[in-house]
Amino acid sequence: MATPASVHSHAPQGFVRKYIFSLDHKVIGIQYFFLALTAVFVGMLLSLLMRIHMIWPTAALPLVGEIKPETYLSLLTMHGTIMVFFVLTTAPQGGFGNYVLPIQIGAPDMAFPVLNMLSFWTTFVGFVLIIAAFFVTGGAPLHGWTGYPPLSAVQSAGPGEGLGADLWITSIAIFCIASLMGALNFITTTLDLRAKGMTMMRLPLTVWSWFITAILGLLAFGVLLSAGILLLLDRNMGTSFYVPLVVVNGQVLGHKGGSPLLWQHLFWFFGHPEVYIAILPGMGVASQVLSTFSRKPIFGYKAMVYAMLSIGFFGFMVWGHHMFMSGMSPYSAFAFSILTMAIGVPSAIKTFNWLGTMWKGKIRFHTPMLYAIGFVSLFVSGGLSGPFLAQPVLDIQLHDTYFVVGHFHLIMGVAAIFGIFAATYYWFPKMFGRMMNETWGRIHFFITLAGTYAIFMPMHYLGMAGQTRRYSQFTEVPYQAKLIPLQTFITVAAIITISAQFIFVINLFWSMFKGPKASDNPWEATTLEWTTSTPPPHDNFGGVTPVVHHGPYEYGVPGAAKDFVMQTDPAVGATH
Amino acid sequence: MATYTPTTPIDHIGRGHKPPVPPPGGGDDGRGGGGVPDYGARLRRARLGLICAIVTVCMVFISLTSAYVVRQGLPTFDDASNSYVRDWGEVHLPWVLLAINTAVLLISSLTIELARRAAARQAALAPVMEIPGVSLGKETRFPWLGLTVLLGFGFLAGQWLAWGELHNRGFYMNTNPSSSFAFLLTITHAVHLTGGLLALLWAASTSLLRRPVEARRIVVDVTAWYWHFMGVLWIYIFALLGFAR
């Protein structure tokens, strides 16, 4: 049984209880943030190795030496898995959701603090296990982040498919359990711990996004967990859930009758909502930041909420669009296609509302705002190729090409990362009590934005030209070899963009200790986290229970003394 | 720089043009959110958490059921006859033993319900009992919780026997797809039930460790609902294995 929020109202003493096994949602949020930061550098390093190998296939690289095709597949698998689970799922929800959600709803902590701590440490164990896959006999698995059987289900299928693959599946299963515990906590907290006056329609859109993400997680991770258990059984107990009659190296294995498609259905039933688990918090942060720095109420608050709810709802009905190439009834494909394109409607509503929020606003171009605008830009650029891929006839042509790589990196990769950056620059003052350097923040933004487009836009053209994805090198295929110059351009852009991330890290750590002291409300924002001290006390509001009187985005209120009204402002008259 | 002239009247701020006062009862409907939650609020919170947990367990079993149905309907390529055949096969489950286990689990659901009500009564009366000189007479306390723990272990032991019996009849996890699912579903259920048993042991320890009676009541209450859910889930699995053979 988890300790209820009120039980530990006194700040814990001692290093271990305060910083390691802390029950404080703020410490846990920061722990998640640094775990994701570590993971993203591992993921970036792997992508860098892949990019370098692609244009210099014979070069021996530091740490890894010569990269064989199977090594390349291991790098690809681990890059995808680490980025999707331990960065894009961990940072926005576990990191910022944990830190900010309870404060934004006026709660002293999450509903179940012990469970919260357990979710973090379970995630940590999952991360350790997946990293361990690099160091076991045979190395990391090579079945891609989607883990399609029979490759992932047969131990003898490749060098990384032994213990490495077992570690991979166990890590994902543990991550599922951690995410389920987190989702349970987020939902209960949002529903039950809101301060007086904080109605659902007064919640900041960030809280809505974390809440909907948690619902998606609650429904999706259980499915992946079940699928993973079946995969483990196929691998280790000789069952045939996924594995049909297969012959490996001339040897007939004992499996019979399993269906690889069964895994694909279960995996993508989780996998598509997972895309929204990664991007929805970014949408929430973009809404929050765009409104704050445009000094205008968010355009169409209710429409934003309903759009996120419908994106979440439709997210569970479109998994089949990942499987057009796997073979399915044309009628099913048609249904999945129409439903997928339908997601364009709420997405367009959101984009329109973001632009409407900025329209004629008194825009303040601080770094968080730049990243929020960058998020909208990437969301549109990456999203527009979605309706192309949603059509089976086009997807069959484009599916195994770089077009898809460009598409999903823009929309769920870097768009979500831009959401994380916006959140970092926006909440850093509250989290660490100091301001980040603006100049370096802007330099970081412009290099990252330009670099991102330089990396992922050309991939669309490569895909249309027929360049296949997952190939470790293209020198042996004449028509593919002609495209290598563009791949070289992408690699150079990637090296520059990755190098620019050190600007961010240095800025982050330097500002943590040397940045100018932040005031309680440096951005002149309205939500509850800016009403408390910086950084917030252990129980968030220093023993005071906030009472909410307004919606979250009251900017430019006529007659008010300032151009914003805090959510907790008891009487508008007092602001005159 | 463009300028923006807000049009919202001063008395219309707040979403939905509500006056700038908190609505009656507050966003949490007077649940005391933000302050020190009372016992009722903590119980409701724990139950809400439980509902989320039950949704998750449901998703796990829905996934396994869909895998069951799909795998059952799949033809298998038989290399000997070079044709597609059905390899599902029938598992000879020890129905009598499973029926006894079912009865044990249902009885345990009854005993835990009595334990839940007893814990609720105890928690409700605790403040009265603390008044010096006040006595409510002799309260007979039957160890319903202990009995439930025993029945829970009894069910698990019965399941263990059932798995052993399946082995005796020549059915293992990898014998055929239907035996794979029979083991998988029953073991997954047993794992979840063990979670409930651990919670019950924790609840029992609360009285030994002299924790507040409210804490014990919350654990017992939530575990009781979880236990009922485990009973329903078991009947579902029993029906699936029985009727969708």
Chain B residues touching A560 at Cβ < 8 A: 10
Which pLDDT band, with edges at 50, 70 and 90, does B45 fall under? very high
Query: Rounded CA gap, A488 and A473, in Å?
Result: 12
Query: Rounded CA gap, B212 and B43, in Å?
Result: 14
Chain B residues touching A208 at Cβ < 8 A: none
The whole-number pLDDT of residue B141 equals 73
Question: If you ran DSSP here, which 8-state letter would residue B28 be given?
Answer: T
Nearest residue, CB atoms, B174 vs list A219, A239, A554:
A239
Query: Rounded CA gap, A421 and A505, in Å?
Result: 11
Q: Is A5:A113 a contact under the CB 8 Å cutoff?
A: yes
**In chain B, what are the domain boundaries?**
100-245
Q: Is A312:A219 a contact under the CB 8 Å cutoff?
A: no
Q: Report the candidate in A43, A222, A225 with the shortest Cα–Cα distance to residue A130.
A: A43
Nearest CA in chain A to B173: A239
Could you tell me how many residues make up chain B? 245
- A 10 A CB-CB count for A350 gives 23
Per-residue exposure over A140-160, b if at least 16 CB sit within 10 Å of its own CB, e if not: bbbbebbbbbbbbbbbebbbb
pLDDT at B18 over 90: no
pLDDT in tens, B27-38: 444 344 444 457
Burial of residue B70 (number of CB atoms within 10 Å: 0-12, 13-18, 19+): middle
Residue A555 three-state SS: strand
Between B243 and A89, whose confidence is greater? Answer: A89
pLDDT at B12 over 70: no
- Give the phi and the psi of residue B130 in degrees, each rounded to 5: -75, -15
User: Domains in chain A and their CATH numbers?
Assistant: 28-258 (1.20.210.10), 272-514 (1.20.210.10), 517-576 (no CATH)
Q: Do A230 and B184 touch (CB under 8 A)?
A: yes
Burial of residue B33 (number of CB atoms within 10 Å: 0-12, 13-18, 19+): buried
Query: Rounded CA gap, A373 and A367, in Å?
Result: 10
Q: Is A255:A245 a contact under the CB 8 Å cutoff?
A: yes
Provide the token pair at B211: 């924790």
Q: Do A226 and B41 touch (CB under 8 A)?
A: no
Nearest residue, CB atoms, A4 vs list B4, B42, B79:
B42
Question: What is the sign of the dihedral through the CA atoms of A490, A493, A498 and A504?
Answer: negative
Residue numbers in chain A where pLDDT is lower than 50 = 1-8, 573-576
Which helix (H) or strand (E) segment is A131 a member of?
Answer: helix A113-132
Q: How far is B32 from chain A (nearest CA, A)?
A: 8
Query: Rounded CA gap, B203 and A223, in Å?
Result: 30
Name residue, tokens 């012990």: A114
Per-residue exposure over A491-512, b if at least 16 CB sit within 10 Å of its own CB, e if not: bebbeebbebbebbeebbeebe
To 5 degrees, how large is the angle CA A223–CA A228–CA A233? 130
Question: What is the sign of the dihedral through the CA atoms of B165, B168, B174 and B179?
Answer: negative
Q: Report the candidate in B185, B200, B80 with the shortest Cα–Cα distance to residue B151.
A: B200
Say how many Å lie between the first and final Cα of chain A, rounded.
48
Query: Rounded CA gap, A98 and A31, in Å?
Result: 10
pLDDT in tens, B187-199: 999 999 999 999 9
Q: A201 CB near a chain B CB, below 8 Å?
A: yes
- Give the phi and the psi of residue A434 in degrees, each rounded to 5: -135, 165
Query: Rounded CA gap, A180 and A199, in Å?
Result: 25
Name residue, tokens 């300790």: A3
- C-alpha to C-alpha distances, A536 to A412, A521, A530, A542, nearest whole angstrom: 31, 12, 9, 8
Nearest CA in chain B to A541: B34
Nearest residue, CB atoms, A363 vs list B1, B5, B71:
B1
The whole-number pLDDT of residue B8 equals 44
Chain B residues touching A240 at Cβ < 8 A: 174, 177, 180
Q: Report the candidate in B197, B198, B185 with the shortest Cα–Cα distance to residue B98.
A: B185
Whether pTM > 0.90 for this model: the answer is yes
Q: Is A425:A373 a contact under the CB 8 Å cutoff?
A: no
The whole-number pLDDT of residue A572 equals 58
The whole-number pLDDT of residue A9 equals 54
Q: Is A55:A95 a contact under the CB 8 Å cutoff?
A: no
Nearest residue, CB atoms, B27 vs list A185, A238, A548:
A548
pLDDT in tens, A60-104: 887 778 888 999 999 999 999 999 999 999 999 999 999 999 999
Q: Do A193 and B28 touch (CB under 8 A)?
A: yes
Pick the CATH number of B100-245 from 1.10.10.60, 3.30.360.10, 1.20.120.80, 3.40.50.300: 1.20.120.80
The whole-number pLDDT of residue B30 equals 39
To 5 degrees, how large is the angle CA A188–CA A193–CA A198? 120
Q: Do B63 and A245 touch (CB under 8 A)?
A: no
The whole-number pLDDT of residue A8 equals 45
pLDDT at B129 over 80: no
Cβ contacts of residue B64 below 8 Å, gap of 6+? A226, B181, B184, B185, B188
Q: A226 CB near a chain B CB, below 8 Å?
A: yes
Q: Do B13 and A554 touch (CB under 8 A)?
A: yes
Chain B residues touching A546 at Cβ < 8 A: 34
Could you tell me how many residues make up chain A? 576
The whole-number pLDDT of residue A235 equals 95
The whole-number pLDDT of residue B21 equals 45
Q: Is A226:A184 a contact under the CB 8 Å cutoff?
A: no
Q: Please, how many CA atoms are within 13 Å of residue A112, restricted to the half-sphere of its CB?
A: 26
Across chain B, mean pLDDT equals: 83
Q: Is A217:A93 a contact under the CB 8 Å cutoff?
A: yes
Chain B residues touching A112 at Cβ < 8 A: 49
Query: Rounded CA gap, A515 and A429, in Å?
Result: 9
Provide the token pair at A237: 């107990």
Query: Rounded CA gap, B133 and A255, in Å?
Result: 74
Q: What is the dihedral of CA A52, A53, A55, A58, to 10 degrees?
A: 130
The whole-number pLDDT of residue B210 equals 67
Q: Picking from A342-351, A417-426, B208-217, B236-245, which range would have the lowest pLDDT averaged per residue?
A: B208-217
Query: Rounded CA gap, A208 and A303, in Å?
Result: 12
Q: How far is A218 from chain B (nearest CA, A)?
A: 6
pLDDT in tens, A544-574: 889 999 999 999 888 777 889 999 988 654 3
Peptide bond into A62 cis (omega under 30): no
Query: Rounded CA gap, B28 and B38, in Å?
Result: 14
- C-alpha to C-alpha distances, A93 to A29, A179, A423, A505, nearest whole angstrom: 9, 9, 11, 20
Distance of CA B44 to the CA centre of its chain: 16
